[in-house]
Structure 1
């Protein structure tokens, strides 16, 4: 076994690999750019080597720099994580030439499967179902339009060396094919150093389901069930689960056997993933094989108890698999929510800045239970008692750390496990409610909204879920009146505690509780409730004007940012912030301002005028921190609704900004190459 491995990556996946290496008694070497000097993975590793400036193409993906770090530290093997150099055959070849083990598949398998065009041909020859498409390379945008027309819209334009949603566009007409081709080509060049593009038919109403495979260098291979990855945005996965709520055992077996056959056909050895698109009739088609560890691998680990990173290390060290297909059992249900540094209220655009508060929910290690009634230990975890749900948070950040514009916007992968899907979903709801994050825009509210969405709860999902259910973007969650009643009761009880604190501080009288009123008006947006609160040593009873009563108990104190309450015997978790006259609450995807007034104050507030927002309709504002890649208009140009105005790059993704209505450009305030902050003015219109 290796004594030292180098991790050619950063962030949460580097931290994840370090945890397993530490468990195995293997020392680790981290790499870091200027931007990652104080990163968590650097702190966790036994050694760390500076690799260069922040841009990945000047640091993390420069093979010569990585190889020098290996020589300087004496690392015997390299785990590439995902992204960066993980599927680069030149890197694997360089390691082989140096006599350093690559904790991944053989070079031949990377070359065969890493190229989407070649992999589809091999899959077809191996008897794996494939999606119709153009297998040759495409030279320019006009050829892309011609091919797309022949295949028939809609089509998927994809980078041959792509992954993680980069270099991928859906085109529904000729114009989108031209634009998509160029953007995909640019993203592919920037992210992978390979701008080759191909086109395939886009299957409507599809599910994205992938099979986890594990193979060794001795001809053994198994599949570890499937993962449902259909909740996607911009072709990037947001929520994954294992197993799929859609597959039956026969389809699972057929997909798994095809995945293993493909792995054996290319001499695969390591962990890998075979991705399929599945239609409503459970017909499945091969998309690609990822010759690396997937972002969503934790959900497979949670339902099988197999530490995939450990297996990758053991296979790279020449060991045989210790399990056969008969040993693989799927127990319970696991869900992963990807927490991104992006603002869901601004079209999910990237956000950067300092994490002024980062408090994930407490992790609880519990996994699938074996026949003997013992819990299988999870990576880095311990055994947990029967009946417990699991909470796992794979992350690479910490409170006070910076989210950089140079890398992927993922902050953490929050996972929950339960004995069944409903329990796993409920565990995720609670975990999301307890996840405190401040300082940047983030998608926690959206993740919570999905967990409560009827379509998701029922399992009736496709890759078009977000587009269909949020066609105008995410505007937050509106809680039903029954839920608002519970929040109002909590607000009244918490206000009483805050009022007692204020009377103590003021020193107005010794018996401070007599000065705290009992009649209050709670206003939450358009919701309004008159309540009377009666307190005792155990809690408060909140009475509504229609005669209903709710019992509220909690140990919350003013200043605490998280309140855990029991309201009418059910748990209510609120993230708490300050707001004049009350509280700012966030729960289950809703962002609420709860005002708690005396009846007289409430009467006066009703007569206060509302503040009018500033008019920005004649400005094109930069929606996120980023770099202006190109401008498509000039001063004096007439533009039509939907016309492309400029391209802004942020966190390795290109974003096309379009005109919302007809108009004339009166002034341009930015040029290609400029770095802009949120709400900087790019263009002005007459």
Structure 2
């Protein structure tokens, strides 16, 4: 086994690799850019090497700088994590040329599987079921339309060198095929330096299910069961679980054996994942093979009890895997929620800024429950525009799927994250949906369940009453001087709803009495200054994020974000008479929806644009976002130029009526 390891990555995956390496007694070396000088992974490692500017191309994507860091630190091996250089054969070859061990598959396997066109041909030759499509090069948008028509809509337009949802579009019409081809080609060129595109049939009611593999240099390749990754947004996975609630034992075995056959056909070693699209009848089709560790690998570790990073180290060091296929089982159920710096209330647009509060739920491991949080950030850290917006991977394990989901709901309730927009409310909303709980998943889940975007969750009547009671008791705890020893009425208002209570307290027990005589018992140890309230209301355990606001509290729970005013009854009587502030009219402006760079402006001053016409393209966190007109109008002023870097809500264009 090698004694020193450089991690050619950043963030949570660098921290994850460092943990296993330290447990095995391997010296760890981190690399960091200007933006990551104070990052968590830098502090965790035994040594750290600065490799350049904040932009990935100036640091983490530079093969020469990583190799130089290996020489400087004396690293015997390199783990690439995922993303960046993890599937770059030139990087693996450069390390090999220097006599440095690459903790990953052979160069030829990366080359074969890294090209989606080549990989599909190899998969078919290895007897793996594949999706109908056109694997040849496509010259232009018109040829893309012709091919799409011949395959039959809907089709998937994908970058050959793509990954992470970049360079990928679904087209249902000729117009969508043209635009999808252009956008995929452009994204592929900027993200991967390879603009080759292919087109395949888009399977309706599809589920995204993948098989985890591990192989060694002695010809052993094992499949470690499957992961369900169907909850996706813009082809980017959001929630994953293992095993899949859909597969039966026969389908699981067939997918596993075909995956192993493909891996052996290309001489694969190390960890890898074969991804499949599965239709409603459990027919499965090869999508691609990822020749690296996957973001969602923790759920596989939780149901198998294996450490995939440790197995990668053993394989890279030339050791034989210490297990056989018969040793691989499935114990319990695991769920992973990706915590992103993005605003679900603004169509999931990326968010940047400083983490003014970062307090994830406590990790634990018992025979009945595991809570795991893989992260690479800390309170006070900066979420920048330079890298992927993922903050953490929150995982729960329990003996059954329903128990794992219940545990995830509580963990999300307890996850305190302030300073940037984040998707915790959305993740909580999905966990509470009957469709998710019943396992009726497809890759179109988010579009189907949230067709108009995400606007929060409206709690049911009982939950709303419990939250109102909790707000009332918290107000009592905030300043007991407001309450005499005898119960005094207080009114709680959440929106247009109102509850009247009188309160009597005894330690952490609060007895609330409504005007009709109905009583509620609230057991709460909340104290002023706490931002998380754990309480029982009528015997029901609640974990509520609770912050003071003028006249009351902001309550966040299970995807709901509420303001509860706690008032004297006569003040509450007057609240309906208060004027409502009207928001400003911004319909005359095109605002930048996220921090990003203007790639293109498609209109000029004086142009008349129609509903749905493309106005501009903004690139943020390596994704191109097309901004379109929402109605017919004239462009009265263009405020920015291509290349401009804008903040959120900065004006791009001004409109006037025609």
Tell me the equivalent position of 2:435: 455
Tell me the equivalent position of 1:158: 158
1:491 aligns with 2:479: no
- For the 8 Å contact 2:476–2:483, the answer to whether it is kept is no
Tell me the equivalent position of 1:97: 97
Q: CA deviation at 1:499?
A: 2.3
Tell me the equivalent position of 1:412: 392
Equivalent residue in structure 2 for 1:643, among 597, 603, 613: 613
Tell me the equivalent position of 2:143: 143
- For the 8 Å contact 1:251–1:282, the answer to whether it is kept is yes
1:238 aligns with 2:238: yes
- For the 8 Å contact 2:486–2:504, the answer to whether it is kept is no
SS of equivalent residue, structure 2 residue 577: coil
- For the 8 Å contact 1:338–1:414, the answer to whether it is kept is yes
- For the 8 Å contact 2:52–2:58, the answer to whether it is kept is yes
Tell me the equivalent position of 2:197: 197
1:628 aligns with 2:608: no
SS of equivalent residue, structure 1 residue 606: helix
SS of equivalent residue, structure 1 residue 162: strand
Tell me the equivalent position of 1:508: none
- For the 8 Å contact 1:7–1:14, the answer to whether it is kept is yes
CA distance in 2, matches of 1:545, 1:149: 68
Q: 1:590 to 1:237 in 2, by over 3 A?
A: same
Runs of 4+ with deviation above 6 angstroms: none
SS of equivalent residue, structure 1 residue 64: helix
Tell me the equivalent position of 1:550: 520
Tell me the equivalent position of 2:88: 88
SS of equivalent residue, structure 2 residue 364: coil
Q: 1:225 to 1:639 in 2, by over 3 A?
A: same
1:430 aligns with 2:430: no
Q: CA deviation at 1:321?
A: 0.7
Tell me the equivalent position of 1:125: 125
CA distance in 1, matches of 2:436, 2:516: 35
Q: RMSD of the alignment, in Å?
A: 1.1
Tell me the equivalent position of 2:185: 185
1:32 aligns with 2:32: yes
TM-score by length of 2: 0.98
Tell me the equivalent position of 1:281: 281
1:566 aligns with 2:546: no
Tell me the equivalent position of 1:528: 498
Post-superposition CA distance 1:321-351 (Å, at most 9, x none):
1111100010000000000010001010000
CA distance in 2, matches of 1:537, 1:439: 34
- For the 8 Å contact 1:539–1:552, the answer to whether it is kept is yes
CA distance in 2, matches of 1:178, 1:127: 33
SS of equivalent residue, structure 1 residue 617: coil
1:473 aligns with 2:464: no
- For the 8 Å contact 1:239–1:338, the answer to whether it is kept is yes
Q: CA deviation at 1:515?
A: 6.8
- For the 8 Å contact 2:511–2:521, the answer to whether it is kept is yes
- For the 8 Å contact 1:622–1:680, the answer to whether it is kept is yes
Tell me the equivalent position of 2:553: 583
Q: CA deviation at 1:513?
A: 5.2
Q: CA deviation at 1:555?
A: 1.1
SS of equivalent residue, structure 1 residue 545: coil
Q: CA deviation at 1:155?
A: 1.1
Tell me the equivalent position of 1:21: 21
1:312 aligns with 2:292: no
Tell me the equivalent position of 2:584: 614
1:396 aligns with 2:376: yes
Post-superposition CA distance 1:54-101 (Å, at most 9, x none):
111121111111111111111111100111111111111111111111
Q: CA deviation at 1:247?
A: 0.6
CA distance in 1, matches of 2:32, 2:186: 25
Which is further off, 438-447 or 543-552? 543-552
Post-superposition CA distance 1:97-152 (Å, at most 9, x none):
11111100011111111111111001101111000111112222222222112211
TM-score by length of 1: 0.94
Tell me the equivalent position of 1:76: 76
SS of equivalent residue, structure 1 residue 66: helix
Tell me the equivalent position of 1:673: 643
Tell me the equivalent position of 2:349: 349
Post-superposition CA distance 1:248-279 (Å, at most 9, x none):
11111111111111111111100100000001
1:220 aligns with 2:220: yes
Unaligned runs of 5+ in 1: 366-383, 504-511
CA distance in 2, matches of 1:117, 1:57: 26
CA distance in 2, matches of 1:392, 1:62: 32
SS of equivalent residue, structure 2 residue 484: helix
- Where does 1:161-180 land on structure 2 (aligned, <5 Å)? 161-180=161-180
SS of equivalent residue, structure 2 residue 479: helix
Tell me the equivalent position of 1:371: none
CA distance in 1, matches of 2:484, 2:490: 15
Q: 1:516 to 1:476 in 2, by over 3 A?
A: farther
Q: 1:519 to 1:119 in 2, by over 3 A?
A: same
Q: CA deviation at 1:554?
A: 1.4
Tell me the equivalent position of 2:268: 268
Q: 1:516 to 1:298 in 2, by over 3 A?
A: farther
Unaligned runs of 5+ in 2: none
- Where does 1:325-404 land on structure 2 (aligned, <5 Å)? 325-365=325-365, 384=366, 386-387=367-368, 389-404=369-384
SS of equivalent residue, structure 1 residue 514: coil
CA distance in 2, matches of 1:118, 1:583: 57
Tell me the equivalent position of 1:439: 419
Tell me the equivalent position of 1:208: 208
SS of equivalent residue, structure 2 residue 68: helix
CA distance in 1, matches of 2:236, 2:452: 19
Q: CA deviation at 1:546?
A: 4.0
SS of equivalent residue, structure 2 residue 282: coil
Tell me the equivalent position of 1:368: none
Q: How many residue pairs end up in the alignment?
A: 656
CA distance in 2, matches of 1:486, 1:513: 21
- For the 8 Å contact 1:84–1:192, the answer to whether it is kept is no
CA distance in 2, matches of 1:249, 1:424: 21
Q: CA deviation at 1:29?
A: 1.0
Q: CA deviation at 1:526?
A: 2.3
Post-superposition CA distance 1:576-633 (Å, at most 9, x none):
1121111001000000000111111101212101110000011111111000000111
Q: CA deviation at 1:530?
A: 1.5
- For the 8 Å contact 2:508–2:525, the answer to whether it is kept is no
